[in-house]
A = this chain, B = another copy of it.
């Protein structure tokens, strides 16, 4: 059965790629209110696609963007059930001018499919969909029951997914969860992730004036909110990149010598960071290596910042306000609400005279660690080894997938985190891409995983 399904998938690679191109053309940017119709379109496209493939599929409402749910059950009630999670929403594509092709006009160039969402996450979850399609078309059946939960709010922190999972525990009942929303180490080296950082975020506004004013009339006589924000931000880290917010690291677990040794074995170094990002140096807490800083240390970053006139030429004003978008990546034991409070308290305390500081849009999810012993995780490991040619590395991931924490607390089942992308897919960046071979290998890995369960 397995070989026939694999052969079917290989024979239909062009059709499967065409479908992904179509899906990627829908600009489902969850963060942007004026894209709400496109987000809905992507949900409808996917549920229609699942329905055509022979699954029971529906678009289910939430308080925000809808969830696409689909399932296929065999006649034998004792077969295992796998729940496959993904997200059909994508990051904003701005700045558009840095893309070499349009983010929502997918093109294949030199073996890569370029489009916003190609790797994160449409290409990766559609690989699972195409694995199921291959079984159903080649064999008319699957050796397991399959459920798909594909959400539309991952890129904005999944604000409504906990409530959705809690309200639909019976519907989502399963034996294990499979999530492909990450990367291989390279094309022959898969990775099973056993830890994800959490994420908290908020926006800060510094207001000094009730409107922008003339910098000649008022310069030197009023507080400038851009300076005030700069002073506040500058107070949050020291010159080496350590976060100086009081209490920020208090709940962070001290690494054991074994953990440090294990992380030291990952062949990823300062030079890799420099090559991948264009940085002139790796930069961060000097007591830790890049692998430690990425996997087990929390971060505090500015994702965006703005104040006053940002157009061409000059405008000689003192701005009324200054703004920044702040996020922290959390490690296990850190409480999201506490971290938000600590950082906001530190920012308030650092506010200079004449600056009024307010916060909005606070949100957070804790970090997750998943167990690697379950037989389903070992099935994923065998499928990965057979597909890519090497047994997987076991790694901590610097990114965050909020739903992992919810699955752990609400479903309590093993979670396999097996990424299909590559580290240089430029996710969240201009020129996001997904290697065509990664899509095809992802389909194969999913087919093998289903067979191994």
Contact = CB atoms under 8 A, between A and B. Distances in A.
Contacts of A352: 239
Contact of A280 (B157, B304, B356): B356
A213 B356 contact: no
A354 B214 CA distance: 35
A165 interface: no
Interface string A154-186: 011100000000000000000000000000000
A220 B311 contact: no
B312 A31 contact: yes
A308 B307 contact: no
Given A221-B284, A277-B209, A306-B310, A316 B398 contact: no
Interface string A350-361: 001110100001
A277 B222 contact: yes
Contact of A308 (B197, B210, B311, B325): B325
Grouping DSSP codes into helix (H, G, I), strand (E, B) and loop, the A interface class, with mixed when no group exceeds half, is loop
A277 B430 contact: no
B219 A315 contact: no
A143 B282 CA distance: 74
Interface stretch (A10-18, A41-49, A70-78, A295-303): A295-303
A91 B315 contact: yes
A223 B241 contact: yes
B299 A219 contact: yes
Contacts of A233: 226-227, 230-231, 234
Contacts of A314: 31, 155-157, 201, 303, 325, 327, 361
Contacts of A211: 98, 277-278, 426, 429-431
A92 interface: yes
A48 B105 CA distance: 49
Contact of A354 (B215, B281, B428): B281
A313 interface: yes
Interface in A202-239: 208-224, 226-227, 229-237, 239
Contacts of A263: none
Contacts of A301: 215, 219, 224, 227, 318
A33 interface: yes
A212 B356 CA distance: 30
A231 B31 CA distance: 29
A54 interface: no
Given A215-B301, A314-B31, A227 B220 contact: no
Given A283-B221, A352-B239, A428 B212 contact: yes
A371 to B, nearest CB: 22
A347 to B, nearest CB: 12
Nearest to A231: B234
Nearest to A219: B299
A316 B303 contact: yes
A296 B30 CA distance: 51
A400 interface: yes
A304 B307 contact: yes
A309 to B, nearest CB: 4
B429 A214 contact: yes
Specify which of A155, A201, A211, A301 lies most central, judged by the most chain B CB atoms within 10 Å of its CB: A301
26 contacts: A30-B313, A31-B312, A32-B312, A91-B315, A155-B315, A155-B316, A156-B313, A199-B316, A208-B280, A209-B277, A212-B429, A214-B427, A215-B299, A216-B400, A217-B427, A220-B285, A223-B283, A230-B234, A231-B239, A278-B320, A280-B356, A303-B316, A304-B307, A305-B306, A305-B319, A306-B306
Interface of A: 30-33, 91-92, 94-95, 98, 155-157, 197, 199, 201, 208-224, 226-227, 229-237, 239, 241, 273, 276-285, 290, 293-294, 297-299, 301-320, 322-325, 327, 329, 352-354, 356, 361, 397-400, 423, 426-431
Q: Which 6 residue pairs spanning A and B have beta carbons closest together?
A: A210-B278, A31-B313, A216-B399, A226-B302, A230-B233, A234-B234
